[in-house]
Amino acid sequence: VVAADDEDLNNLADPSTKESSTDELIVLNDKHFESMTDEELDLLVDNLLVRFVESLAETCTTEAELRKELDAPGLSGFALLHFASLYGLNSLVPLLLSRGASPNVIT
């Protein structure tokens, strides 16, 4: 499992950067990506998006604000739930639904 938790994500960090906490920017090492399989890269993206949604949930002050953020279309025109469904980000879909993302939003 790639980046299943903060420790795994930090293991992908460039060793020339300082040790990072979850509140700091992590610089990832390109050499790790070159050796990763497509499945590992997909899992990494999935895990990073889960962390993003959890961080977003912590920073939004109301449930309505969170739903608005989750249902807003991105640059591709898709809401995050639709993007996650389209690209098979399996752990993200139930998380988004549990956080209030609407499956009926039009994108």
Q: Which two tokens stand for residue 15?
A: 């060793």
What pLDDT score does 9 carry?
54
Whether 107 is covered by a domain: the verdict is no
The pair of three-digit structure tokens given for residue 104, joined into one six-digit string:
């009926």
Is 50 inside any structural domain? Answer: yes
Domain assignment of residue 12, yes or no: no
Total number of domains in the chain: 1
Give 7-62 pLDDT, tens digit per residue: 555 555 544 544 444 455 666 778 878 888 998 888 888 888 889 999 999 999 99
| Mean predicted confidence (pLDDT) in 56-83 | 94
pTM higher than the cut 0.85: no
Q: Please, which pLDDT band fits residue 1 given cuts at 50, 70 and 90? A: very low
Assigned domain for 54 exists: yes
The residues with which 28 forms a beta bridge, in sequence order, are: 13
Supply the range of the domain harboring residue 42: 30-99
The tokens describing 105, both together, are 């939003």
Give the C-alpha separation, 80 to 78, whole Å. Answer: 6
